[in-house]
Chains A and B, each alone.
Chain A
Amino acid sequence: MPIISKKNSVDSIFSLITGVASSVVVVLIIGILVVLLRESSLAISRFGVIHFLLSTDWNPVKESFGAASTIFGTFVTTSLALLIAIPLALGIAIFVTEIAPDFMKGPIGIAIELLAAIPSIIYGMWGLFTLAPIMSKYIEPALQKTVGALPLIGILFSGTPMGIDILTASVILSIMIIPFTASISRDSFNLTPSVVKESAYAIGATKWEVVKNVVLPYSKLGVYGGVALSLGRALGETMAVAFVLGNNHQITTSLFDAAATITVTLANEFTEADKDLYLSSLFYLALVLFIISFIVLAIAKFFLLKAERRYSR
């Protein structure tokens, strides 16, 4: 059967090509890990792992490098951003699924998607020229006068409000991640069977009680996934924070202080690193960021897959 065998050989070539193309993703992930490990080997052998992660020293002149101040900056800005974004995103999802009349659902959904489509450099530029002055002139002094006067928490709001600080960066980050949490939460809310909701209404529950006691518990896996995905996004966000965070390698106590995240440090210093150890330490930072965000995103994916499996049953 010559014709069929000929066909089969073309087919096997095509399947081979597509197989190679799909393996590119795996090759890239392994490649990034291997290349970053190799490039940072100098810094790894000099500073070790624990010492690098715990040292707050970042001194290009003395060639002494530690990641603690940038990890701290990354952690503080992302957690503050999540703190602002999660309630808003859940509110948006509740509004779209439970409250909005049909003619409003579409436009608000599109608006949220457009918010996600705006490139991060636009957020950064807007933050620098528009939000930062507003923060330093109105919002931060107001915060200082009210919350800043309280004992203990007051220290978070001390210092001169310059607008180029952790708070401004976190606000911008939060606006950027709202769409991710909101759209995934909305999709999970929509999967709640209406029979379950209707039975809650039938025993006299108010709308809020239905959302709180039926919809939220039912869709919590999806919401966790959305939050973890937003966290992964926020960890790696560069341009939106590069404009408004300063690049200050210090662990600070006030939200009105400049700081540095891993991404901002890379964006500002990578092309200026003149010594091998300096560049290697920056690669080391990139490696740390890659591993952290990979783990966070894997957790997000785990929740989303688990949610998918539960709802499809």
Chain B
Amino acid sequence: MNVEQKRKAESILALALSTLAAFSGLFWLVFILGDVLVHGIGALTPALFLNDPTPPGVVGGGLRNAFVGQLMITAFATLIGVPIGILGGTFLAEYARGTRTARAISVLSDIMVSVPSIVVGTFIYAIMVKTVGHFNGWAGAVALAVIMIPVVLRTTEDMLSLVPWTLREAAFALGAPYYRVIIEVVYRGAATGIFTGVLLSIARVAGETAPLLFTSFNNSFFSTDMRGPVASLTATIFQYAMGPYEEWHMQAWGAAFIITVFILLITIAGRLIIKWRYK
């Protein structure tokens, strides 16, 4: 084999390996999703959604408490986290645009996005559970909001920066003060982008488990009282999957199926909106 052939062979080999790597990524995705689908479909019964947990061995138990609890915690987290994130992003992209402060906060937010969520859980435990003396749903919602804030803040900043500066100048020229320019011109221009950012941040926290373990904890009874422990799908999955009972495993698969489908649908919707709006 001469040098030319060797170089060509090397190239083909390397490219083949890359292709193989790409398909291995696809393989894992199909493997995991298929597994959740196969196990989860069988667990989807009306009882899963309509009944509360029963003691192990008693048939007909469901996860109504966890579905409602998960919805409440996620909704309150969104209500707390999204306004703070959007307003914070507004400051960075508008009032503080181009300043050192804005750049520093932006970098810190990027780091904060990836900070271990379990650390956030211990932090909220110290300030919201230890002080009250018992686990509570509010602590869970705040923990998720803490994870949401930097995500929403960064997407808002990016989306507002995409709005052309000349648009603002046009509004200034009409005599509008900056806050009205932001609300009536900039927000309007960036609305789709901000909305997508909010969607993706919900998808991000809806599957979080670690920060809920020490905050909202879990509750085997139906409860809408955010001042006490509240059940969540993710914490229930952890408890049930690690537990010894076969029907617990089934219900855990059902919950896993619902949460995965919910998150994937939101993620895909977000991608489609971005593609449609910013192509």
Contact = CB atoms under 8 A, between A and B. Distances in A.
Interface string A96-140: 101110000000101111110111111111101110000000000
A38 B127 CA distance: 11
A9 B178 CA distance: 11
Q: Which of B121, B123, B206 has the most CB of A within 10 A?
A: B123
B249 to A, nearest CB: 7
Interface stretch (B17-25, B45-53, B190-198): B17-25
Nearest to A282: B122
Interface string B230-249: 00001001100110000001
Interface stretch (B83-91, B161-169, B219-227): B83-91
B114 A293 contact: yes
A91 interface: yes
B112 A29 contact: yes
A10 B179 CA distance: 8
A123 B89 CA distance: 32
B92 interface: yes
B91 A270 contact: no
A36 B122 contact: yes
A162 interface: no
A285 to B, nearest CB: 9
Interface string B84-112: 11111111101110000010010111111
A266 B256 CA distance: 23
Q: Which of A14, A88, A270 has the most CB of B within 10 A?
A: A14
Interface in B155-179: 177-179
Contact of B123 (A22, A35, A182, A243): A35
B208 A32 contact: no
B271 interface: yes
Contact of A297 (B10, B15, B111, B125): B111
A79 B248 CA distance: 34
A217 to B, nearest CB: 16
A159 interface: no
Contacts of A229: 114
Given A99-B19, A115-B25, A271-B214, A238 B108 contact: no
A108 B26 contact: yes
B264 A114 contact: yes
A301 interface: yes
Q: Which of A24, A25, A237 has the most CB of B within 10 A?
A: A25
Contact of A208 (B14, B123, B208, B209): B14
A28 interface: yes
A124 B234 CA distance: 11
A99 B116 CA distance: 35
B234 A119 contact: yes
A1 to B, nearest CB: 12
B8 interface: yes
Contacts of A88: 21, 24-25
Contacts of B179: 10-11, 14-15
Contacts of B87: 17-18, 21-22
A26 B271 CA distance: 30
A22 B96 contact: yes
B227 to A, nearest CB: 18
B207 A25 contact: no
Contacts of B210: 120, 238-239, 263, 267
A119 B259 contact: yes
Contact of A119 (B112, B116, B260, B271): B260
B116 A290 contact: yes
B117 interface: yes
A233 interface: yes
Nearest to A175: B28
B150 interface: yes
B120 interface: yes
B209 to A, nearest CB: 5
A22 B87 CA distance: 7
Contacts of A21: 83-88, 90-91
Question: What 10 A-B pairs are tightest by C-beta distance, nearest first?
Answer: A119-B207, A236-B116, A91-B21, A21-B87, A22-B88, A18-B91, A206-B11, A208-B11, A95-B22, A21-B88
11 contacts: A21-B91, A32-B120, A39-B122, A90-B18, A121-B237, A126-B36, A236-B117, A238-B209, A263-B116, A263-B210, A286-B122
Given A125-B241, A238-B116, 13 more contacts: A11-B178, A15-B91, A21-B84, A28-B149, A110-B268, A113-B267, A118-B263, A119-B234, A121-B238, A122-B36, A239-B234, A290-B116, A293-B116
Interface of B: 7-8, 10-11, 13-15, 17-22, 24-26, 28-29, 31-33, 35-36, 39, 83-92, 94-96, 102, 105, 107-112, 114-123, 125-127, 146, 149-150, 153, 177-179, 182, 203, 206-210, 213-214, 217, 234, 237-238, 241-242, 249, 252-253, 256, 259-260, 263-264, 267-268, 271
